[in-house]
């Protein structure tokens, strides 16, 4: 990318939950935006969004809109990315795509800036933003992998409804309101009631019995960590939380790491905050990390069932570090 003082930046899917957060993070981090263009479907085109104190009109996404755009941030789903991201790249933009469309394509970098920033330089017009649950996990695990080599990861996630979009957030609100007023909740977005419930079902089920979300964590972790030998198994659960994914992570390492050593390593790791003193009820929870960009780690303890095992509790804002902030951080590396 040609070095500039200011860049023309596009946000595709600007009116969605992550798109709005992208606009917000661009402003907060003072990204050198010379011109901001916002795109969405017919349903949202014509709306206005505020950026740096000025109203910007949301444009209709079409084939010919990417000329002159330097960086295109996509957050409009896999179908839109497959249809429009290659066109944006062909027009000269560097695409940072938040969907799953290109994550496992061999020559498309899958980037978490704290983990594999050098991969940005290998792009051919498209850079993939990983899955939200994968991002926060690898930010916490990469420093431990560098120290002692992780052999195996067992992870159970507790994922907020915002990971499925605004409609899912609205459904949780409406179901909660209905139940609290002694009415029957309406189920549309999820296969079962999500209010006051947990669903071990995120994305579609595959032939191996895992969900697509679970297998994303397997394949993406290996690609980002650049180590196909790591064993990964996941169970992903949707919980009635609006923002913030939590993860119970168990790892087995080749060399022993004590809990105190792990806390010390993570305390010095980029993008990680250790919040861990259970005797004082100090551990991360979703409501406390909402609006923050760091990955919070607590409940660090040694797994007494194996020789070289650790348990961690990992929490992050899925709309920010799990999506929007990670994409903007990639863009910041790109322009450097």
- Whether 334 and 94 have beta carbons less than 8 Å apart is answered as yes
User: For residues 218 and 234, what is the distance between their CA atoms, to the nearest angstrom?
Assistant: 7
Rounded Cα distance, 114 and 92, in Å = 27
CA nearest neighbour of 25 among 159, 14, 34: 14
Any alpha helices (H) in the chain, and if so which ranges?
17-28, 78-90, 132-148, 166-180, 212-225, 259-267, 286-289, 325-335
- Report the catalytic residues: 132, 245
Residue from 119, 120, 154 nearest 137 by CA = 154
Do residues 18 and 28 make contact, with C-beta atoms less than 8 angstroms apart? no
DSSP string, 237-263: EE-S-SS-EEEEEEEEESS---HHHHH
């Amino acid at each position: 990318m040609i070095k500039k003082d200011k860049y023309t930046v596009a946000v595709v899917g600007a009116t969605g939950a992550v798109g709005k957060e992208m606009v917000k993070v661009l402003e907060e981090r003072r990204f050198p935006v010379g011109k901001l263009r916002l795109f969405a479907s017919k349903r949202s085109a014509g709306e206005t969004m505020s950026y740096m104190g000025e109203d910007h009109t949301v444009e209709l996404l079409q084939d010919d809109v990417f000329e002159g755009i330097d960086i295109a941030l996509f957050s409009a789903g896999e179908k839109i990315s497959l249809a429009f991201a290659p066109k944006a790249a062909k027009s000269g933009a560097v695409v940072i795509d938040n969907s799953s469309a290109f994550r496992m394509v061999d020559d498309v970098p899958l980037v978490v800036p704290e983990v594999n920033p050098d991969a940005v330089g290998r792009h051919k017009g498209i850079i993939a933003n990983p899955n939200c649950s994968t991002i926060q996990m690898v930010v916490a695990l990469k420093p431990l992998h560098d120290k002692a080599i992780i052999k195996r990861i067992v992870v159970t996630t507790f994922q907020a409804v915002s990971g499925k979009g605004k409609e899912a957030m609205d459904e949780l609100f409406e179901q909660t309101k209905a139940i609290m007023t002694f009415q029957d909740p309406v189920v549309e977005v999820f296969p079962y009631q999500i209010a006051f419930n947990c669903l071990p079902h995120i994305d579609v089920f595959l032939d191996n019995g895992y969900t697509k979300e679970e297998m994303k964590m397997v394949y993406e972790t290996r690609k980002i960590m650049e180590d196909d030998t790591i064993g990964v198994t996941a169970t992903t659960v949707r919980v009635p939380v609006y923002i913030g994914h939590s993860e119970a992570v168990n790892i087995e390492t080749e060399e022993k790491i004590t809990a105190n050593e792990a806390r010390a390593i993570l305390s010095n790791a980029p993008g990680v905050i250790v919040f861990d003193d259970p005797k004082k009820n100090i551990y991360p929870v979703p409501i406390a990390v909402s609006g923050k960009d760091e990955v919070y780690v607590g409940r660090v303890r040694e797994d007494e069932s194996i020789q070289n095992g650790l348990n961690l509790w990992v929490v992050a804002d899925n709309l920010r570090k799990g999506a929007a902030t990670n994409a903007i951080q990639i863009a910041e590396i790109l322009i450097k």
